[in-house]
Amino acid sequence: MKRTTPLRAALAALLMTVGLGAAAGAADAAPPPEPSTAAPAATAGLLDAMRRDLGLTAAQAEERLRAEKTAAAVERAARRTAGSAFGGAWFDPATGRLVVALTDSAEAPAVRALGADTRLVRYGAAALDRAAARLDALGAPAGIAGWHVDPRSDSVVVTVVRTERETPAVRAFVDRARAAGPVTVAESAGAPRTYAAGTVGGDPYYTGNVRCSIGFSVYGGFVTAGHCGGAGAAVRGWDGSAMGTFQGSSFPGDDYAYVGIHSGWWTVPVVLGWGTVPDQLVRGSAEAPVGASICRSGSTTHWHCGTVLAKNETVNYSQGAVRQMTKTSVCAEGGDSGGSFLSGDQAQGVTSGGWGNCSSGGETWFQPVNEILGRYGLTLHTT
């Protein structure tokens, strides 16, 4: 980074690392290593944030992080073991165990031997993915917030904006969705929107008159949200100086981008804690299961935690639908776009958008980081 005052230099270096990445780089890159199931390092600040946002004691937070790390490893093994009978999986905070849905009870003993609980379902992951793909082709009205495969209900959950539920366009879409496959309807208090913001001095990075948050450091730059800037757009740092250029960007359809940085700036495997928690080291990108705890860092609302609510959701923004997103109970606000989502010390994704705010609450979606790394052939900067 550019050298200025020691405090600003340290902050700038840290901001370069507020990013998610997966060790899955290009298609021919080696997959990320299997994470250890040992208890992850949990700082006092992280435990405080989990206590504040999840209502956990420090001991409960430590135990949950340990159980979630085990569940992430079990989910990968269960997917391989169950094969075509795999119906999805989720973490159950009440038991501290992974639950795996199966379409064939004959696979249950082998999956339970891995350390998971099982549930027999009718449709399973493959059938529900096909149903969700049919919804993707329908074209949704503004009153539809999005849809995702939900292994817990063995259905595709279509989320409607509460105030729009009875409008003719929404009712017609729901009818067509139900004809496409097993569908459950849920409600949202607000419509999803992206979290870019107008220029405010002293914040992480700018493109044009938009302020966004850096995601995760990769070798050569960082990843962030695609709606923050198009390919070729110039990026300015916190001090207004030239920082880099968007080397690739996709939005809508996806919501991810890669910014290459200029000489004089550098990357480090850190996510900024903003004084709420200590700055967090990034050690990998093992994907957390549905139900796991997750925390987010962004330049507007700083550090907040919640849980993973759903995966592979299609989010219906006003600019167009974005697919394969992960839904969380974490709040966010304008300017947080592009910022980091972490589960323990594992990068998960970059903030895309949501509804609500950090005063009254809301929900936020992120673009999974492993997809971004694979798309641009990037390598996550880790310790």
Active site residues per annotation: 227, 255, 337
Alpha-carbon torsion (94, 95, 97, 103), positive or negative: negative
CA separation for the pair 94, 104 (Å, rounded): 25
The pair of three-digit structure tokens given for residue 177, joined into one six-digit string: 């969705």
Helices 168-180 & 124-136 angle (0-180, nearest 10): 140
DSSP 204: S
State how far the alpha carbon of 84 is from the alpha carbons of 79, 87, 103, 108, 273, in Å: 9, 8, 8, 13, 41
| For the chain, the helix, strand and coil percentages under 3-state DSSP, each to the nearest 5 | 25, 35, 40
d(Cα 365, Cα 357) in Å, to the nearest integer? 13
Q: What is the 3-state secondary structure (H, E, C) of 293-322?
A: EEEEEECCCEEEEEEEEEEEEEEEECCEEE
Q: Examine residue 252 and say whether the peptide bond preceding it is cis (omega within 30 degrees of 0).
A: yes
Q: Report how far residue 370's alpha carbon sits from residue 21's, in angstroms, rounded to the nearest whole number.
A: 6
Report the candidate in 130, 357, 367 with the shortest Cα–Cα distance to residue 226: 367
DSSP 347: E
